[in-house]
Chains A and B, each alone.
Chain A
Amino acid sequence: MISERDFEALSAYVDGQLSQRDREALESRLAGERELRHALKDLRQDRLLLQKLPSQRAPRNFTLTRAQAAAIRPPRRSGFLSFSTFNVMRLATGLASLLFVTLLGLDLARSGAMADRQYEPQADTGSALVMSTAPIDAAAPQIESAETVIPGGIAGLAPVAEGTPLPEQLTQDQATLMQSSAPTDLEGAQGGGIAGTGAGPETPDITAAKTNADAPTETPDGSAARMNVEGQTPEATPEAAYEAYLAPADESTSSTAITSAAPTSVEQPRPMFELWTIGAGVLALALASFTVALWLFRRSS
């Protein structure tokens, strides 16, 4: 009985897989060991038997029909419904959405910043107004043109400036609106005399108001400004000022000057920015709709 190791050597020997040295060693053993020789003979005989087994002919063709092939592995699409087109649409939708979100974020941040700018300077103006009440009075002789234009001077604003509490029905916004009108009028009336405090926003309209105050007859706005300032009679109360502000636009009233005050010119770029934001949003929505429709169509087909 030959060992498993010897049989493995014989198996490799008939296949020509032994190294030169192992082959020579085995052949020398074969010459002297009859049992080994007999095992080799059986091995070769069995190998020949297996090799002589008849080759089977395939009973049929195993080719695939086009339908089978398409069911097994759908062919790569080309043209409008191709995978690359779908991916491009997905990418475009993503980019448009990103652009929209970015613009929206910038717009909101911009709005917030503008709101802050509207509040902070006005608060400063209010305090400046308090602080400047006395200097204005002190400087009154120097601002002769303003004094002549404003009967009663700035005194009409004194209740606000001195911190007289506003009526309860006036909200903070209303007070803000009133305050926003105050410095404009004040600066316009003082012809830049208070501008040195740096309190009010130096907007073109305010400058115009200053100009109007300095040269009240040069422009129609100037007359309006003057009328506005003139409207600040000593009897004017904050309620009256607020009501005047809320009153319908009327060129003959002082509210015209107030309503046409600075904020409009500051926000001029905003509509264009909003247009871009809206455009990006519409584009993102359209691309998303198209991509979803494409996806549904691909699935159905």
Chain B
Amino acid sequence: MDEPGLIRDAQDGDADAFNSLVLAYQNLAYNVAYRIMGDAASASDATQDAFIAAYRHLPDYRGGSFKAWLMRIVTNACYDELRRRQRRPATSLEDLVSEDGPDLESELALASPDDGPEELSQRREVAHAIQDCLNHLPEDMRVVAVLCDVQGFDYGEIASSTGLALGTVKSRLSRARARLRDCLQGVRELLPAIYRLSDEASV
């Protein structure tokens, strides 16, 4: 994919070129939004808003990492969606997370053909618990934790995607991990073998 060429064409108003970029990044954008928002419907709305905003502001893009530029728009769309949600206090975070877990289809996609029903259920339970811990993080910590630990961004990419200084990213990530550590204390007891680190590997 000739990303710079597609970006130039999209800047000139070529919707097809922009759609090529959308297809290339929509899974990443949706995943980030999903982990920040905690539910599929809000994540879908935030992702759609993000791509609309990206197309509107694409002429202002002045080079650099397109991925980081787009993720910044996605995180901003998530913040907007979270603020909208806060203005409707009748709906709590817990209510928005499905009782069946984050997304049945995606969880099933994770499952190995060798997994039995019990293992499958266990996986879903773990995923649900992790997402619940993420949902209880403050928004600014959640975004950093999702970008770093879920999506695997390095500190520089996180700084570009959030507009934060590297030092702020580092300290914010540390505090997010400390809170997650407390939250995930009980989850670790439920972990299947594939999630467990051996004592040798931990040091």
A residues with a Cβ closer than 8 A to B are: 4, 7-8, 11-12, 15, 17, 30, 37, 39-66, 68-70, 72-76
Given the interface pairs A49-B187, A56-B34, A58-B30, the reply to whether A63 lies near B170 with Cβ below 8 Å is no
B1 part of interface (Cβ distance < 8 Å)? no
The reply to whether the CB of B107 lies closer than 8 angstroms to some CB of chain A is: yes
Q: Of B43-51, B61-69, B81-89, which stretch is located at the interface? A: B43-51
Q: Kindly state whether residue B165 has any CB partner on chain A within 8 Å.
A: no
A58 and B170 form a contact (CB under 8 A): no
B110, A54: Cβ atoms closer than 8 Å = yes
Chain B, interface SS category: helix
Of the A-B pairs whose beta carbons lie under 8 Å apart in the complex, a sample of 15, sorted by A's number, is A11-B173, A15-B155, A42-B188, A45-B197, A46-B149, A50-B149, A52-B194, A54-B102, A55-B31, A57-B27, A61-B23, A64-B15, A72-B56, A73-B13, A73-B55
CB proximity to A under 8 Å, residues B152-203:
152, 154-155, 170-171, 173-175, 177-178, 180-181, 184, 187-188, 191, 194-197, 199, 201-203
A50 touches B150 (CB 8 A): yes
Expressed in whole angstroms, the Cα–Cα distance for A283 and B44 within the complex equals 57
* Closest A residue by C-beta to B184: A46
Q: Contacts A48-B195, A54-B110, A59-B40; is A64 near B55 (CB within 8 Å)?
A: yes
Asked whether, in the complex, the Cβ of B47 is within 8 Å of the Cβ of A63, the reply is no
Which residues in chain B, 120-178, are within 8 Å of chain A measured between CB atoms?
126-127, 130-131, 145, 148-150, 152, 154-155, 170-171, 173-175, 177-178
Q: Establish whether residues B130 and A43, one from each chain, have CB atoms under 8 Å apart when the complex forms.
A: no
Chain A residue nearest to B41 in the complex (CB): A59
Tell me how far the C-beta of A19 lies from the nearest C-beta in chain B, rounded to whole angstroms: 12
B170 touches A62 (CB 8 A): no
CA distance A42 to B29 in the complex (A): 29
- Asked whether any CB of chain A lies closer than 8 Å to the CB of B12, the reply is yes
* A51 touching B152 in the complex, CB below 8 Å, given contacts A37-B202, A62-B22: yes
What residue of chain A has the Cβ atom nearest to residue B146's Cβ?
A50
Report chain A residues within 8 Å CB of B171.
8
Q: Which residue of A lies closest to B203 (CB)?
A: A37
* A-binding residues in B (CB < 8 A): 12-13, 15, 18-19, 22-23, 26-27, 29-31, 34-35, 40, 43-44, 47-48, 51-52, 55-56, 58-59, 102-103, 105-107, 109-110, 126-127, 130-131, 145, 148-150, 152, 154-155, 170-171, 173-175, 177-178, 180-181, 184, 187-188, 191, 194-197, 199, 201-203
Determine if B23 and A56 form an interchain contact, defined as CB atoms under 8 angstroms apart: no
A70 partner residues in chain B, CB cutoff 8 A: 15
Which residue, B58, B150, B155, B174, has most C-beta atoms of chain A within 10 A? B174
Apart from A52-B195, A62-B26, what 18 extra A-B contacts exist at CB < 8 Å? A4-B174, A15-B173, A37-B202, A37-B203, A43-B181, A45-B188, A46-B177, A46-B180, A50-B145, A50-B149, A50-B150, A51-B150, A58-B47, A62-B22, A62-B47, A64-B51, A64-B52, A69-B55
Given A41-B197, A56-B103: A8 and B149 interface contact (C-beta under 8 Å): no
Residues of B within 8 A of A65 (CB): 15
Min distance, Cβ B203 to any Cβ of chain A, angstroms: 6
Which residues of A lie under 8 Å from residue B181 when comparing CB positions?
39, 42-43, 46
CA distance A44 to B51 in the complex (A): 34
- Contact in complex: B178, A4 (CB < 8 Å): yes
Q: Is the CB of B26 within 8 A of A8?
A: no
Interface contact A11-B109, CB-CB below 8 Å: no
Nearest CB in chain B: distance from A118 CB, A: 64
Q: Nearest chain A CB to B93's CB is how many angstroms away? A: 18
* Contact yes or no, B13 A75, CB < 8 A: yes
Query: Does B145 contact A60, Cβ atoms closer than 8 Å?
Result: no
Contact B150 A58 (CB under 8 A): no
Whether A64 contacts B22 in the complex (CB less than 8 A), given A15-B155, A50-B149, A76-B13, comes out as: yes
Distance between A286 CB and nearest chain B CB, rounded to angstroms: 33
| Nearest 3 interchain pairs by C-beta | A41-B202, A75-B13, A69-B15
Query: Are B174 and A49 closer than 8 Å at their CB atoms?
Result: no
**Chain B residues with CB under 8 A of A52:** 194-195
Please report the C-alpha to C-alpha distance between residue A7 and residue B31 in the assembled complex, in whole angstroms.
Answer: 28
In the bound assembly, the distance between CA atoms of A72 and B40 in angstroms comes to 25
Q: A8-B174, A49-B191, A66-B15 are in contact. Are A72 and B106 (CB under 8 A)?
A: no
Cα separation A74 to B19 with both chains bound (whole Å): 16
Q: Shortest CB–CB separation between residue A24 and chain B, in angstroms?
A: 15
